[in-house]
Each structure stands twice: as C-alpha cells, then as structure tokens.
A and B are shown apart, each in its own frame.
Chain A
Amino acid sequence: GAVVSQHPSRVICKSGTSVKIECRSLDFQATTMFWYRQFPKQSLMLMATSNEGSKATYEQGVEKDKFLINHASLTLSTLTVTSAHPEDSSFYICSATLGQGRTDTQYFGPGTRLTVL
C-alpha cells in the first residue's frame, strides 16, 4: 500500500516551453502532497506543499508563477514548470501523506528527470 506514481519519469524539452508533471497516489487518498527538487548529489529541497482544493503553499524563494501546482483531487497533484530554462533542469520528486496529522509518513514518487535544452 501507499504507492505514489509520477509521470513522466523523464522529459526533455526546449527552452521556453512548459512541462507538466503528474503525481498520483494509487491506493490511497492524499490530503497533502509535496513537491521537492533535488540537485545532483544534494538533498531534497521542498518547493511547495499542496492540499486538495486549496492553493499551494510555496517555500521561500520558489516562484509560484513559474512552478504552478494544482491539487485537483485527493489522488492527483500536478506541477507545471512554465517557460522552462536550462537552470530548471533537475530531478523533481513528489510525496504524499495520508492525512494532515503530525505523525504522517511521506510516501515518495519515483521522481521525474527534467532536462531543458
């Protein structure tokens, strides 16, 4: 149980285009989903926290107009990288929790490798 999927697993796009990444909780309803960015050989950087039906909460320094997050249902959250540039190339990972309790474990998706040419 508690499986999270991401699609696509890998995407290459041209500079200036937009890319959408999907995160789905396959066997549970995820009240809260998180989006992380991971640079090579570095830890995870939390980008934003999203709750179903409400606006995402972005971490300091993350551009909300560039990284659009939509949590349309209890099983789906999307991250759209708008007008992507080479510096946006990274490994993007989502996670989900079963509820909003303080003891909830985060379950991670397999990640999406974005390369912007």
Chain B
Amino acid sequence: DAGITQSPRHKVTETGTPVTLRCHQTENHRYMYWYRQDPGHGLRLIHYSYGVKDTDKGEVSDGYSVSRSKTEDFLLTLESATSSQTSVYFCATKLTAGQETQYFGPGTRLLVL
C-alpha cells in the first residue's frame, strides 16, 4: 500500500473561512485524487491530478480547488467553506495509467459550522 498521510485529521471551521487539506504520499505515485464521503452517498470524486501541476475536475468540484507542486503533495482548498462541505475527505493515489488500483489515506473529518 502507498504510504499516504492526510492532515489535519479533524477540523472544525466556520462558514466563509478558507480551509486547506493536505495529502502526502511517499510511494512516488503519479496520480492523486480527492474524494468526499457522505451518508447516503458513495465516495464521490472532487478533483484529481495526473502529474505535477496537472489537475482536472471530478463529479463534485464546485467550491473546491486543488494544487500539486510536488509529486508527493496534493492540496485541496475550500475557498469559502459552506455547511454543505461538512464531510469526510479521502485522498487516494495510483501508481500510473494502466495500473488502475487506487490506495486510500486515513481521511480528514471536516465540520463547517
């Protein structure tokens, strides 16, 4: 499994404030992903990256932006947090195209009041 860490693991914030979540991997995987998990829904893709500075949108990207300046780090930013963004956020990585298995981090639990 890829060595994936997420920080912070828990965060409480207020509506309207910016929030940045960090995903760090030690396996030199090319692809990185951000998902959110909510009751009644499966995990849903927010954004993903297929290389340094190469990112694209997923199913639920509105209100989120991402950046990847190094292979090992993928940042998810909520520009102005809303209560609908209260969720558990998971980062995942994949070695390369054609190796389709994704490995997940431990998650960040975000509460927006």
A binds B: no
